Amino acid sequence: MQAAHGSFNYLLVFLSYIISVCGAFTALVLARESMKVSKQERVPWVAWSAVIMGGIGIWSMHFVGMMAYHMDNTVNYDIPLTVLSLGRRHCLRQVWVSRSWGSARAAFPPF
């Protein structure tokens, strides 16, 4: 088996890092602000925190990071499968956040 050789676009690597930091910061700010509202109003705050950290921050960071690596062979992305992976990532993060906050009725945010 041969290893795939390639190169990195360091501007995209840096952009991936910035996306990660911004997503984590925003999610943590939302989680902190959720403590200032009543328990009934807290669920949407936590849900949006999950969307931003898992769905937008982590997923986008990895996707941009994959685009930063250039190989000699062609790489294609299937749009429906990519969107499906974003939805799956959001659902898993939503379950994790709802369990960590102890909320049995954590709702998905309205879109």
Classify residue 53: in a domain, yes or no: yes
DSSP 63-75: HHHHHTEEESS--
Q: What are the average pLDDT values for consecutive 10-residue runs of the chain, which has 111 residues?
A: 82 94 88 84 80 80 89 81 75 67 48 38
Partnered with residue 71 across adjacent β-strands are 6
Classify residue 2: in a domain, yes or no: no
pLDDT at 109: 47
pLDDT at 106: 45
Residues 6 or more apart in contact with residue 103 via CB below 8 angstroms = 42, 43, 46
Print the domain residue range for 91. Answer: 7-100
Contact 34, 42 (CB under 8 A): yes
pLDDT at 93: 67
What Cα–Cα distance (Å) separates residue 96 from each residue in 92, 93, 99? 6, 5, 5
Classify residue 111: in a domain, yes or no: no
Structure-token pair, residue 91: 């659902």
Structural domain tally of the chain?
A: 1
Classify residue 109: in a domain, yes or no: no
